[in-house]
């Protein structure tokens, strides 16, 4: 499922008020970091991830794609060194 423009706009608005949920350093996307981001997404559906290394243009987008593929989420926006990712909470069955 891809996000519509309207959905992305609403998520970006919510994301602006969020503090960084995770900071990815030199080690990159470790298993512990991915587990932490998954936990944040399970609680909030939205996570703001900042990466420390300066990546240029396509590298930022490829980092976002790699992150989203690893955690099964969708990229909402890439702004500077910050990636906003979204993953809908699973439906709870009664």
- 43, burial (CB in 10 Å: exposed 0-12, middle 13-18, buried 19+): exposed
Q: Give pTM, 2 decimals.
A: 0.84
According to the model, what pLDDT value does residue 5 have? 92
According to the model, what pLDDT value does residue 51 have? 85
What average pLDDT score do residues 5-20 get?
92
Q: Tell me how far apart the alpha carbons of residues 34 and 28 are, in angstroms, rounded to a whole number.
A: 10
Q: Quick check: 58 pLDDT over 80?
A: no
According to the model, what pLDDT value does residue 24 have? 84
| Residue bearing the bigger pLDDT, 6 or 26 | 6
Q: Tell me how far apart the alpha carbons of residues 92 and 87 are, in angstroms, rounded to a whole number.
A: 15
């Amino acid at each position: 499922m891809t996000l519509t423009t309207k959905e992305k706009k609403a998520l970006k608005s919510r994301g602006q008020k969020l503090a960084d949920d995770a900071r990815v350093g030199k080690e990159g996307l470790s298993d512990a970091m991915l587990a932490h981001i998954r936990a944040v997404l399970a609680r909030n559906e939205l996570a703001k991830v900042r990466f420390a290394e300066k990546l240029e243009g396509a590298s930022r987008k490829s980092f976002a794609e790699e992150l989203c593929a690893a955690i099964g989420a969708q990229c909402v926006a890439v702004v500077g060194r910050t990636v906003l990712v979204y993953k809908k909470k699973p439906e709870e069955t009664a």
